[in-house]
């Protein structure tokens, strides 16, 4: 029996996969030279990209994996989202310990990096209890 995907599953999938596709497109346009940047902006961009930590890449990959599993209506999406939340908590703790509390991202970034995975954990657990995710 085929189960219909709830609307929020579609919204989460479109948001994450669409956002990732746009990010990749923007990266291609920047590095191909199609998007012109001033020298100052290019230096800031290159500095931000070159300092990407492996932990952030792992968390981003887990987030996309969780979204794919959610779209496939798999119960393991819950565990992937819990791993994203735990990973972001560990990254925040590492930043606070290594660089001090002042180095933590501003409140909106913290809300997004901790709040959204928490919401996704709660939502996917709700779908597991309703037996939508199997």
**Between the CA atoms of 65, 61, 121 and 107, what dihedral angle is there, to the nearest 10 degrees?**
-150
Asked if residues 124 and 133 have their Cβ atoms less than 8 Å apart, the reply is: yes
**Residue 27, pLDDT score:** 79
- Give the CA distances from residue 79 to residues 2, 35, 84, 91, in Å, rounded to whole numbers and listed in that order: 23, 38, 9, 18
**Residue 14, pLDDT score:** 94
Place of tokens 């709700």: 126
**Residue 36, pLDDT score:** 85
pLDDT along the chain (134 residues), means of 10: 83 91 84 85 69 76 94 97 94 83 78 90 96 94
């Amino acid at each position: 029996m085929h189960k219909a995907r709830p609307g929020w599953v579609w919204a989460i999938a479109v948001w994450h996969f669409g956002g990732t596709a746009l990010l990749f497109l923007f990266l291609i346009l920047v590095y191909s030279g199609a998007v012109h940047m001033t020298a100052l902006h290019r230096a800031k961009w290159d500095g931000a990209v070159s300092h990407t930590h492996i932990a952030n890449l792992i968390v981003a990959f887990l987030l996309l994996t969780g979204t794919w599993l959610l779209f496939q209506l798999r119960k393991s999406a819950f565990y992937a989202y819990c791993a994203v939340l735990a990973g972001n908590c560990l990254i925040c703790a590492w930043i606070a310990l290594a660089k001090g509390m002042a180095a933590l991202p501003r409140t909106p970034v913290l809300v997004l990096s901790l709040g959204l995975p928490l919401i996704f954990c709660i939502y996917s657990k709700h779908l597991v209890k309703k037996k939508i995710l199997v």
